[in-house]
Structure 1
Amino acid sequence: MKQAEITKLSTADLQEKLSETKRSYADLKMAHAISPLENPIQLRTVRRTVARLATELTKRELQ
């Protein structure tokens, strides 16, 4: 998910998307621990998406 897409979301949507993304990251990590993923780069992209969402939420809370 790109930063431009994230800034267009409302705060409630951000929180919902963050929880969904964290859940999918946890599932990917578990699947990768059991047997290697076909595309391990997915872990990096999902982790970075979580960070982008969390950063945007923090930025909005501080304003």
Structure 2
Amino acid sequence: MKQSEIKELSVADLREELDKTRQELSNLKMTHAISPLENPMQIRVARKAIARLATEITKRELD
């Protein structure tokens, strides 16, 4: 998810997307532990998306 897309979401949508992405990361890690993923870069992409979402939520809370 790009930063421009994140800025357009409401706080409730951001929290929902954050939960969904955290669950996706958890599933990716479990799958990768059992058998290697075809594209392990998915884990890194998910972690960065979580960081972007959490940063935007914190930024809005401080404003």
TM-score, normalised on structure 2?
0.98
* Number of residue-to-residue matches in the alignment: 63
Instruction: Report the Cα distance in structure 1 between the residues aligned to 2:32 and 2:62, rounded to whole angstroms.
Output: 36
Q: Secondary structure at the match of 1:39?
A: coil
Unaligned runs of 5+ in 2: none
Distance 2:5 2:59 in 1: 15
**Misfit runs of 4+, over 2 Å:** none
CA RMSD of aligned residues (A): 0.4
Q: Provide the TM-score with structure 1 as the length reference.
A: 0.98
Residue matched to 2:35: 35
* Structure 1 stretches lacking a partner, 5+ long: none
Using the aligned pairs only, state the percent identity.
Answer: 62
